[in-house]
Amino acid sequence: MNTINYILWNPSLEAFHLGSFSIRWYSLCWLVGLLMAYLMVKRLYKEQGIKEELFEPLFFYCFIGILAGARLGHCLFYQPDYYLTSGKHFVEMLLPIHFMADGGWRFTGYEGLASHGGTLGLMIALWLYVRKTKLGIWQVLDNIAIATPVTACFIRLGNLMNSEIIGKITDAPWAFIFERVDSMPRHPGQLYEAMAYALLLAIGWIAYRKWPQRVGTGFFFGMCLTYIFTARFFIEYTKDIQEAFEAGMPLNMGQLLSIPFVILGIVCMRRGVKIKNKK
């Protein structure tokens, strides 16, 4: 195999240092993605005449909901046999630490986060936010959906920097060799997803400018769910399995978890179109 034909990929995990404290690319991508979504939704709220004091708690709800949902989703969907088999492992599910064999522990950060769990956690967080602010649930969901793709895009770029969620072996000329994994050329599945979500961001923003009156009908929320998880379903065919138990499955866990979100998205889009047609 001539490795010069492929993209050698082995970036540093750390973006920069602040004294003895290091900031990883993955964490930085999460923060940039959340910040950009925050600024976009803030602009949408302002354009729609929603009071600023109703916007302020939104970031807190979203951040906690996404992080908690993504973490629990990974642990319960992909590694329940590890995290639910001992008290120490259960603590590792909740806290970003790993207990060592010698009785000590080390800080690891949250090394496993699942997008399906993050989506579910976000939906629960937004329901709690709506209960507090008394805003319309569909208006909030639509506004969040318009901005969500930018966060999803940066999260997948973070996965790329971590050389995780790697693709299957391929001879495609754009294949990446993830040197921290092995020496085989593989599909950059993370990059495929990041590009798909960047395209959705553009589509959603253009659609909002064309049909701003559809905010509050559930149309944008449905479009976001349908697009993201349909893309995820098909891109999964280029990815390597994440856990051994997926090896004999006709559809992997990511694909199985995508199906209900696609169905929910289609239902919400149809709802949005029907409401718009009645006006």
Query: pLDDT tens, 70-102?
Result: 888 888 888 888 888 888 888 888 887 888 888
Q: Which of 13-17, 87-91, 104-108, 248-252 has the lowest mean pLDDT?
A: 104-108
Residues with Cβ < 8 Å from 254, sequence gap 6 or more? 116, 232, 233, 236, 239, 242
H-only helix segments in the chain? 25-47, 52-55, 58-78, 80-83, 87-94, 115-133, 137-161, 189-210, 219-235, 253-278
Ordered by start, the domain boundaries in the chain are 22-278
Residue 156 labeled ligand binder: yes
Predicted confidence at residue 2, as pLDDT, reads 56
Query: pLDDT tens, 144-197?
Result: 999 999 999 999 999 999 998 889 999 999 999 999 999 999 999 999 999 999
**C-alpha to C-alpha distances, 104 to 85, 91, 99, 111, nearest whole angstrom:** 19, 14, 6, 19
Query: pLDDT tens, 243-269?
Result: 777 777 889 888 998 999 999 999 999
Predicted confidence at residue 184, as pLDDT, reads 94
pTM (2 decimals)? 0.82
